[in-house]
Amino acid sequence: MALTEALADRPAPRGVAQPLLEVRDLHAFYGESHILHGMAFDVGAGEVVTLLGRNGAGKTTTIKAMLGMVGRRTGTVRFEGRDILGLPSHRVARLGIAYCPEERGIFSSLTVEENLLLPPVVKAGGMPVADIYKLFPNLVERKRSQGTKLSGGEQQMLAIGRILRTGARLLLLDEPTEGLAPVIVEQIGRIVAHLKEAGFTILLVEQNFRFASTVADRHYVVENGRVIDVIPRADLEASIDKLHRYLGV
């Protein structure tokens, strides 16, 4: 398709370093189903980039393919310049990529604190636990509660908080605002902005483009397993109608 070919041939803009994450011609399969048809996008260091699209567009599958959680995958995924597509999940994580899954993935057989401390430190420079508790004060008094006894919003905070300790610099957030009250969505927006200021690189998967528009530098619109449009932050206002059509809202 023209757009993905254009992205594939595009040289890095002058004066800009190689992107932290480069995805080219990513195909992925669940058994016989061909889910991703040549995904291609870049994430530069320190950027917040979103994959926007409807349910079933292939956004979560893209994240999972990068993490080695999907069956068959082909193409190129380069992180910090090295090919990571063939690596098993635990090796991908150890390179400094952290995952906040769509269902939050809070473990019911662990307490809140155990959940928070579970992901191992993979690089130096992770946020100390005390700072994480400062960022998410709700979690402090619920430390010893069973993880899943928290509200949806609190579980989302926990899911984000626990990956900040690991030292990973690339965060993959899959629909962090799904099913949450507007007040919590705002809170998460502030946290993402704060993380961006702190130098994290974030790949955000979202259906809610209003939330995405408040935080992201660039939006890739995903449909049927491929990128069909790229909308930089500056062009967002002008593209509202287009986005309505793409996302069927």
Partner 1 sequence: MVGLLGVPPQVLFGQVLLGLINGSFYAILSLGLAVIFGILNVINFAHGAQYMMGAFCAWLVLNYLGVGYWWALLIAPIVVGASGILLERVFLRRVYKLDHLYGLLLTFGLTLLIEGAFRQAYGVSGQPYRIPDELQGGQNLGFMFLPNYRAWVVVAALSVCIAVWLVIEKTRLGAYLRAGTENPALVQAFGINVPVMVTLTYGFGAALAAFAGVLAAPIYQVSALMGSNLVVIVFAVVVIGGMGSIIGAVITGVGLGVIEGLTKVFYPEASSTVIFVIMAIALLIKPAGLFGKAA
Binding site for partner 1 (CB under 8 A): 67, 69, 88-90, 92-94, 98-99, 101, 105, 107-110, 114, 117-120, 122, 163, 166
CA pair distance 109, 199, nearest whole angstrom: 33
The DSSP code sequence of 18-54 is PPSEEEEEEEEEETTEEEEEEEEEEE-TT-EEEEE--
* Eight-class DSSP state of 171: E
Q: How far is CA 28 from CA 97, 137, 149, in A?
A: 20, 39, 35
Closest distance of CB 52 from partner 1, Å: 23
Closer to partner 1 by Cβ: residue 155 or 187: 155
The strand pair at 201-206 and 48-52 is best described as: parallel
Q: Cβ closer to partner 1: 70 or 185?
A: 70
CB of 84 to partner 1, least distance (A): 13
Residue 213 DSSP label: H
For partner 1, the closer of residues 122 and 180 by Cβ is 122
> With respect to partner 1, which residue has the nearer C-beta, 43 or 67?
67
Alpha-carbon span 175 to 126, nearest angstrom: 23
Smallest distance, partner 1 to C-beta of residue 141, A: 20
**Nearest-approach distance from CB 244 to partner 1, in angstroms:** 34
CB of 210 to partner 1, least distance (A): 28
Q: From the CB of 101, what's the least distance to partner 1, in Å? A: 6
**Coil/strand/helix, residue 83:** strand
Please say which residue, 178 or 217, places its beta carbon nearer to partner 1: 178
What is the sign of the dihedral through the CA atoms of 16, 48, 244 and 227? Answer: positive
Nearer to partner 1, 37 or 94 (CB): 94
